[in-house]
Copies of this chain bind each other. A is one copy, B any other.
Amino acid sequence: MATFSVPSYIPSTFEDAEQLRNAFSGWGTNEKVIISVLAHRNAMQRRHIRHAYSDAYGEDLLKALDKELNRDFEKAVLLWTLEPAERDAVLAYDSVSKWGPADSTLIEIATARSSEELLSARRAYHDRNKRSLEEDVAAHTSADFRKLLVPLLSSYRYEGAEVNLSLAESEAKLLHEKVVEKAYNDEEMIRILTTRSKPQLVATFNHYNNEFGNPINKDLKSDPKDEFLRALRAIIKCITCPEKYFEKIVRLAINKMGTDEGALTRVVATRAEVDMKLIKEAYYMRNSVPLGKAIKKDTTGDYEDFLLALIGEEDA
């Protein structure tokens, strides 16, 4: 479900590396070439290009891009060129270093990835930071957020489709009790959200809706400004309907006074190879404007061109 296009004839990784090297040389940088190569190669191809570049020129491609590019375009190209696990490690590190409750990056990494992808991100975090992700999160967060985020990021959820319906029933009841008591930070609430498998949680939330008349996320909106409640809703949305979750992140990033490029770049770079097609559909359904058009209106230059290429709307 990748949205960017990969050409039917793909040059060898060495030719790609050479093209990039030429784009960097001489006066100025040829950004068009960088986009035409990197925005049209999948994760494995980009990894091979990075290896080929390092073999041929003795320099990490990411270092070279870092020297040649600037600002939002640079951030987007670097994030995209990283391996998915490394990218998550970079995003997690940025998020935890300047942590604030409004930033949902850690929640995305913990819940909108497969269990093995989350493990790979934790492994990449070790390699880059010489500490564990949960160690840094525990040290930089406190109170309820720590109680929630550490187990969330440490989880290794079972990924089979098996669902225990009587468990879904009893845990929906338990969640409802806690919601009624406004005991949002209750241990049981956190235990259920951070350990159960996604199919099991979906069954639990469905039962909640059937039995108590509201989707759980509606009941968790009692105080729309409460950041902890917002985090709980983000977890539930990432688990039940990630494309709608990401549609909203993109919508808010674009509709802000001054675009939130950080969030926009993060969603495009992390989802272009996953479910961007669904996010685009959800965006159009919700806003009656194609996502490509909205991005075109809100961004400029190479950054704009790069994002449009990644979401498959170069001609938008």
Q: Which residues of A contact B (CB under 8 A)?
A: 119, 122-123, 126, 130-135, 138-139, 146, 150-151, 154-160, 162, 187, 191, 195-197
Chain B residue contacts of A133, Cβ below 8 A: 156
* Number of copies of this kind of chain in the complex: 2
**Residues of B close to A119: CB separation below 8 A:** 119, 156
A73 to chain B, nearest CB (A): 33
Q: Please give the distance in Å from A197's CB to the nearest CB on chain B.
A: 7
The reply to whether B132 and A158 contact each other, CB–CB distance below 8 Å, is yes
Report chain B residues within 8 Å CB of A123: 156
> Contact at A156–B131, with CB atoms within 8 Å?
no
Q: Determine whether the beta carbon of A155 is less than 8 Å from that of B134.
A: yes
7 additional A-B pairs beyond A130-B160, A151-B154, beta carbons within 8 Å, are A126-B160, A132-B195, A134-B151, A135-B197, A150-B195, A154-B155, A154-B156
Q: Which residues of B contact A156 (CB under 8 A)?
A: 119, 122-123, 126, 132-134, 154
* Least CB distance, A247 to chain B, in whole angstroms: 29
Q: In the complex, what's the smallest C-beta–C-beta distance from A112 to chain B, in angstroms?
A: 18
Option from B132, B155, B187 in Cβ contact (under 8 Å) with A197: B132
